[in-house]
C-alpha cells in the first residue's frame, strides 16, 4: 500500500467538489441544489485540513471552524428563504421560479 500524500487528499477534495458542482448544474430541486452546495463547502474544508496537517499549521483549522460556523448560519437563512419561496410559489423546483425571466 503506497503512502498517502497531500495530493491524495487534494484529489479526493476535488472529486467531492466536482460531484457537488455537477449536482448544482443537473439537479432541478432547490433543496438538492442546496445539499450539493454544502458538499462543495465540505470539499474545501477537506483541502484546508489536509494543508493544515501537512504543513503543521493549525491556523488553517481555525478557518475551517469559521467556514463551518458560517455554513450553519447560511443553511438556516437559505432554508428560511426556501420556505418563504415555497409559501409564495407552492413549488421547490427551479424551473417553476421564473419571475425574473423576460
Partner 1 sequence: MEPILFWIFSLGMIVAGVSVILNRNPVAAALSLAVTIVFLALMFGFCLGAWFLMVIQVAVYAGAVMVLFLFIIMLLDVKEEETRTRSWSYAVMGSALALFMMCMVVLVLRATEPVKAAADAGVPVDDAQQIGTLLFTKYLLPFEITSVLLLVAAIGVVLLSLTHKRESSS
What 3-state DSSP class applies to 13? helix
Residues contacting partner 1: total by CB under 8 A: 72
What is the Rg, in whole angstroms, of the alpha carbon atoms belonging to the chain?
A: 17
Instruction: Quote the cell numbers at residue 37.
Output: 452546495
Shortest distance, position 70 Cβ to partner 1, whole Å: 7
Q: Say whether residue 52 binds partner 1 (CB under 8 A).
A: yes
Instruction: Quote the cell numbers at residue 92.
Output: 421547490
From CA 7, how far away is CA 33, in angstroms rounded? 28
Q: Say whether residue 37 binds partner 1 (CB under 8 A).
A: no
Q: Which of residues 57-96 bind partner 1 (CB under 8 A)?
A: 58-59, 61-62, 64-66, 68-77, 79-84, 86-87, 92-93, 95
Phi/psi at 23 (nearest 5 deg)?
Answer: -65, -40
Shortest distance, position 92 Cβ to partner 1, whole Å: 6
Shortest distance, position 13 Cβ to partner 1, whole Å: 9
Amino acid at each position: 500500500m503506497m503512502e498517502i500524500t497531500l495530493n491524495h487528499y487534494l484529489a479526493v477534495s476535488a472529486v467531492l467538489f466536482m460531484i457537488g458542482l455537477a449536482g448544482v448544474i443537473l439537479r432541478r430541486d432547490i433543496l438538492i441544489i442546496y445539499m450539493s452546495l454544502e458538499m462543495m463547502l465540505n470539499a474545501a474544508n477537506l483541502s484546508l485540513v489536509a494543508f493544515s496537517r501537512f504543513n503543521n499549521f493549525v491556523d488553517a483549522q481555525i478557518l475551517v471552524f469559521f467556514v463551518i460556523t458560517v455554513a450553519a448560519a447560511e443553511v438556516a437563512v437559505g432554508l428560511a428563504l426556501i420556505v418563504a419561496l415555497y409559501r409564495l410559489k407552492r413549488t421547490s423546483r427551479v424551473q417553476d421560479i421564473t419571475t425574473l425571466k423576460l
